[in-house]
Structure 1
Amino acid sequence: MTGSTTVTDSRTDARTLHGTPVVPGVGYGPVVRPAPRPTRPDAAREIGEDSRESEVERFRAAAKAVGARLQARAALATGSASEVLAANAAMAEDRGWLGAGAKAIKGGADAAYAAVAATDQFVAMFAKLGGRMAERITDLMDICDRVLAELSGLPEPGVPTPAQPSVLLAEDLAPADTAGLDPTLVVALATSLGGPTSHTAIIARQLGIPCVVAVAGLDDVAAGTAVMVDGTTGLLSVDPDAEEARRAVDESAAHLARVAEWTGPGRTSDGHHVDILANVQDGAGARAARTTAADGVGLFRTELSFLDRDVEPTVAEQADIYGEVLTAFEGHKVVVRTLDAGSDKPLRFATHPDEANPALGVRGIRIAAADRGILHRQLDAIAAAAEATSSSPWVMAPMIATADEAKAFAADVRERGLTPGVMIEVPAAALLADRILEHVDFLSIGTNDLAQYTMAADRMSADLAALTDPWQPAVLALVARAAEAGAAAGKPVGVCGEAAADPLLACVLVGFGVTSLSAASAAVAGVGARLGQVTLEQCREAARAVLGTAGPLEAREAASAVLG
């Protein structure tokens, strides 16, 4: 699905590069690229023994300053941007990384060389582990560069502020760079690395910036070159006809303006109701989502209150955080996901074993097997927030793989007067959805992880982006099976992964029997508007057509043929 081709036009020779579409829309303008990163020392500057302790303190102070700035940005951001910035802030003060740097300094290296040596050590480890950990390499390299700049008294590296509306091209972007983009100046974004569920893609979707990832040949496009990015088709045109490009931008803007006028409720053109919900991470994100036509919250990620903590937040502290989201959507559906830590989101206050493959290890509900108290205290906090706000939140567990896990979780949730459900992210859970539904009241399908585990492909890998495409028929077959189980049991089944943000695919999901769609706030109107243009029978016909295909491109074409 990726690669570059050359298209001959009667007026200009324009190259068209192909990537994986992430955020719909068209952007056109001159290329800007991130500023060069600080030069990394290739040799250590010898530090005398009597100065090593002070050099360790200088290294730690630089890392602390970087972490504090990222945490400050996290506090100002919302949604996914806030979550990933908080995770990066925690990485800047990670004890293992700081310890490796301090060890190098105590061996005689200067702080800058020690930062690079510690980073190289962890990069090699993350690459070997693969999975989600490999995706953290970009984040850690960014942390190292910021620490080097701090040590040298240089400005922080990152994306320059364009003087005019421009298209940002990069090999990859750190979350700290993506989260700070101004959509009025960065009118489109394309990267040569990354996948459809990478941090860059998720934040771009939240900001509403047209985005394409995994674009082959992108690194050869020089700064200043005029390009057009189509986030719907995944095409990037180099030196396109200017008049045609501006017309495409205007048509896209007009379409998005019509979409923005959608005010709900979620339903097909013949009146079949579907909950259109928002994914949020905190109170600020929930309040922002409340300004959209979202019917409620389909995924409240609770990790944000845990990731930057050395000690577990108290029940009261957690209840205050959860209460903000419940208050923002008072009287509306709110689905709270319990702690989805582990893998690339380790907890400082919980013991995580060294694992050969953390993505297949102790994460999500599996943390409770070692320390049930963490889960119980979180459920206590959710119950307290519900009581304080007179709300009735639904609560679901991530990474459920067996009916017994679902049964135990449901008992804990019901004991506190809450409504239990589980995430379907593991293929085993999709295959046994009927048996899991004997114990819980609803299912929510996380298509990001479901695609990764079904296709045995790291969802952050640009090389494997075609495999983790949510349009893969094998993934959709599992979604259909879970939805069918829900219909048979008379219980709701939602989708809260990135697949729910694709307006065309959202219609297919409804055709499978999915009862709710939860996406980033910026995608809510597009999904709702598209669903309102088709009938339920069209959705079902498209669903049947998709299940008869053998690949994602064929699946898209089959759905488009039915839905237009």
Structure 2
Amino acid sequence: MADVVRGLGVSPGRAAGQAHRMARPPVLPPRGTVTDPAREIGLAVAALAAVAGHLEQHAAKAAGADARAILEAQSLMAADPALRESVEEAVGAGLTAAHAVDAACAHHREALLAAGGYFADRAGDLDDIRNRAVAAVLGLPMPGVPDPGHPYILIADDLAPADTAGLDTGTVLALVTEKGGPTSHTAILARTFGMPAIVACPGAAGIGDGTWITVDGASGEVAIGVGEDTAAAVQSEARAARESRSAGRGPGRTADGHPVPLLLNIGSARDLGTGDAEGVGLFRTEFLFLGRGDAPSFDEQVAAYTAVLQALPGRRVVIRTLDAGSDKPLPFLGLPEEANPALGVRGLRTARNRPEVLDTQLDAIAEAARASDAETWVMAPMVSTVAEAAGFARRARARGLRHVGVMVEVPAAALHARRLLAEVDFLSIGTNDLGQYAFAADRQHGELADLLDPWQPGLLGLIAMCGEAGREAGKPVGVCGEAAADPLLATVLVGLGVGSLSMAAPSVPGVREALGRHSMQECREHARLALAAGDPAEARAAMTGAGH
């Protein structure tokens, strides 16, 4: 009988195949004597430059804005002059090139961890840079995913952004990592690819290469040592599900015809894909601002927003204003360093210091809206008070923007949802951040991944408050967090009063299919069962018992 280990399912779907593990990091050779410091510095610097170039090339080829932004940021880290200076100091202290790279990265890694928040999350990216640069110095191939010559399920301690963004989705059937969390790079990109994925699964350490396993990206279960007949049956089932979903198109709706618009999360017009969605529920405008020394000009912004709006005539496009700070630091804003950036000046709060940045963005959105036939909605991130919502609404409406909303990402906003809806036209719930703040659990902390599970009844309770407020006010409430991409959870969210769901494009067919199998009354019953559950596992089990 197969052994079962569990992690956190972060990208739904089932897969079966042989497991193959990510290659281990390169091992440092014994320390040698430095006879030519200039040569050692040259080797180390050339290795870091090669890594930066490699990551930059991967970024240029990346399919989505998320992957591009992640890889571009990592490339900048590898090319950071401060890292080179640390290498030179290490060589000066008597270390050879490989050991100097290792020491320099270790030094900066400690600094990132000490800074906490966004910076602590970048420590994993620096580990990947270290491994690649050490391999380059030693003349070894850069670490990467295995290539067994057939489709397989990838097992890893964790995955670096470059590895995840460059995966061959025709060969890698699913991902299982021992570390990571629901908002890690692995999770975000797996959902973008529509690939089953499980993170925070310590039991994956015991899976040997070539072992037949099955993966359930919804429940988080990995069955180890299954028979080939069982694997073949799961593969056939997964293939049939994909074909069924790809055949279905059209608007999202429940079995009894209740409309539930299925929208896309995008970073630019390039992410719109084939248009198998009813609009855009989250246009992350910060990707236009990242990696720059100054803010994009008014004309640049107008062009970027117009490209999306004109591609979707007559359809809804929800544009989120700049969500900077915390995990998206923007140097040109001149924000002070903070001990805890996640609780500091981020999102709409940046307008306290730099109001002109928000004003220019709203001007550009209004200009782009006038030049298109799309239904332009605009919303502010990280709103905590009614006063903030009212102030943002005044700003946006003064520019002729008619559909103005705010994001619900902190418990205070959910608790005052009724008051917020007295000031704005809609709410959009960001489940990733709302879960983080509700459970005081860092989104990137792998050991706390269970607290960030979107099935947590406490989180669902906050969503229910927003849904009820929307029903009372007659105003729409949507979810644009990745919880919307879970077909099983989608029926619960709709039952809680959520009127639209926004997600990565590959997730749309599965969610459409799930909603189409259940009436509105059944969705409400699913919501009741999930809210009454004691924990996420019980909530999921309740759905299974309800015949989902």
Are residue 26 (structure 1) and residue 11 (structure 2) matched?
A: no
Greater shift, 116-125 or 257-266, is seen at 116-125
- Matching residue within 7, 16, 23 for 1:35: 23
Cα distance, 1:361 vs. partner? 1.9
Q: Cα–Cα, structure 1 residues 235 and 389, in superposed 2: closer, same or farther, change >3 Å?
A: same
Is the 2:31–2:96 contact (alpha carbons within 8 Å) kept by the matching residues of 1?
no
Paired position in structure 2 for 1:69: 54
The CA deviation string for residues 133-167 of structure 1, in whole angstroms up to 9 with x for no partner, is 43322112112223334445543321133310111
Residue aligned with 2:394, SS: helix
Letter in structure 2 aligned against 1:420: V
Alignment pair present for 1:449 and 2:433: yes
Distance 1:68 1:416 in 2: 43
2:520 to 527, 533, 536: 536
Tell me the CA shift for residue 317 of structure 1: 1.9
* Residue deviations 1:368-415 (CA, integer Å, cap 9, x gap): 222112222222332333234344421111111111222222222222
Aligned to 1:512: 496
Q: How does 1:165-564 map to 2 (within 5 A)?
A: 165-286=151-272, 288=273, 290=275, 292=276, 294-418=277-401, 419-562=403-546, 564=548
SS of aligned partner of 1:277: strand
- CA apart distance, 1:475: 0.5
Assess if the C-alpha contact under 8 Å between 2:214 and 2:234 holds in 1: no
How far, CA to CA, are the matches of 1:364 and 1:100 in structure 2? 33
Amino acid at match of 1:172: D
SS in 1 for 2:130: helix
Once residues 117 and 345 of structure 1 are traced to their aligned partners in structure 2, the CA distance between those partners, rounded to angstroms, is: 27
Shift in CA distance, 267/195, structure 1 to aligned 2, threshold 3 Å: same
TM-superposed deviation, 1:265: 1.0
Aligned to 1:6: none
DSSP 3-state at the match of 1:389: coil
Q: Which amino acid aligns with 2:126?
A: L
CA, structure 1 residues 289+43, in 2 after alignment: closer, same or farther (shift >3 Å)? farther
Mark the CA change 1:255 to 1:170 in structure 2 (over 3 Å): closer, same or farther.
Answer: same
Which residue identity lines up with residue 155 of structure 2 in the other structure?
Answer: L
For 1:414 and 1:299, locate their aligned partners in 2 and report how far apart those are by CA, in whole Å. Answer: 19
* Cα separation, partners in 2 of 1:239 and 1:257, compared to 1, 3 Å: same
Distance in 2, Cα, partners of 1:289 & 1:45: 58
Which range is displaced more, 134-143 or 240-249?
A: 134-143
Q: For 1:324 and 1:45, how far apart are their aligned partners in 2?
A: 58
What is the CA distance between 1:297 and its match in structure 2? 0.7
- Contact kept, 8 Å, 1:183 with 1:208, in 2: the verdict is no
Runs of 4+ in structure 1 displaced over 6 angstroms? none
| Greater Cα shift, 519-528 or 429-438 | 429-438
Instruction: Report how far residue 348 of structure 1 moved.
Output: 3.0
Cα separation, 1, equivalents of 2:101 and 2:335:
24
- In 1: Cα distance, 2:298 partner to 2:29 partner: 46
What is the letter of the counterpart of residue 247 of structure 1? A
Residue 360 of structure 1 aligns with an amino acid whose one-letter code is L
Which shifted more, 209-218 or 166-175? 209-218
Q: Which amino acid aligns with 1:322?
A: Y
Tell me the residue number matched to 1:127: 113
Q: Is the 8 A contact 1:504 1:560 kept in 2?
A: no
Matched residues, number: 546
Residue type at the aligned position of 1:222: G
CA distance in 2, matches of 1:78, 1:487: 35
> One-letter code of the match for 2:252?
G
What is the CA-CA distance between 1:522 and the residue it aligns to?
Answer: 0.7
Q: 1:379 to 1:111 in 2, by over 3 A?
A: farther
- CA distance in 1 between partners of 2:350 and 2:100 (Å): 33
Q: Which residue type is aligned with residue 33 of structure 1?
A: R
Return the offset for 1:109.
Answer: 5.5
Are 1:138 and 2:121 counterparts?
no
Shift in Å, 1:478: 0.5
Relative distance call for 1:392 and 1:112 in structure 2 (3 A) is farther
- Asked if structure 2 preserves the Cα contact closer than 8 Å seen for 1:276 and 1:517, the reply is yes
Measured after TM superposition, the shift of residue 114 of structure 1 is 4.2
1:19 and 1:211 mapped to 2: Cα distance? 10
Return the offset for 1:498. 1.2
| Higher mean C-alpha displacement, 277-286 vs 87-96 | 87-96
Residues 401/435 of structure 1: CA separation in 2 closer, same or farther (3 Å cut):
same
For residue 84 of structure 1, what is the aligned residue in structure 2?
70
Residues 310, 373 of structure 2: 8 Å contact kept: no
Structure 2 unaligned spans of 5+: none
* Cα distance, 1:453 vs structure 2: 0.8
For the 8 Å contact 2:218–2:486, the answer to whether it is kept is: no
TM-score by length of 2: 0.93
Deviation of 1:45 (Å)? 6.1
Change (3 A) 1:317 1:119: same
Instruction: Give the Cα separation in 1 of the matches to 2:411 and 2:83.
Output: 34
The aligned counterpart of 1:148 is: 134
Query: Corresponding residue for 1:3?
Result: none
Query: Cα distance, 1:108 vs. partner?
Result: 6.6
Residues 117, 558 of structure 1: alpha-carbon distance in 2 compared, 3 angstrom cutoff? same
CA–CA separation in structure 2 for the residues paired with 1:170 and 1:537: 42
**Residue identity in the other structure for 2:454:** P
Separation in 1 of the partners of 2:500 and 2:35?
Answer: 60
8 Å Cα contact 1:534/1:563 also seen in 2: no
Deviation at 1:563, TM superposition (A): 5.2
Q: 1:235: Cα distance to partner?
A: 1.8
Contact 2:348 2:382 in 1 (8 A): yes
- Percent identical: 48
Residue type of the partner of 1:22?
V
Q: Compare 194-203 and 341-350 and name the one that shifted more.
A: 341-350
Q: Distance in 1 between matches of 2:404 and 2:81?
A: 36
Greater Cα shift, 268-277 or 404-413: 404-413
Q: Is the 8 A contact 2:118 2:328 kept in 1?
A: no
Measure the CA separation in 2 of the matches of 1:296 and 1:481: 25
2:253 partner SS:
coil
Q: Which moved more, 1:458-467 or 1:274-283?
A: 458-467
Secondary structure at 2:144 match in 1: coil
- The answer to whether the 8 Å contact 1:495/1:517 transfers is yes
Contact map agreement 1:162 1:186 (CA 8 A) in 2: no
**Kept after mapping to 2: 8 A contact 1:172/1:193:** yes
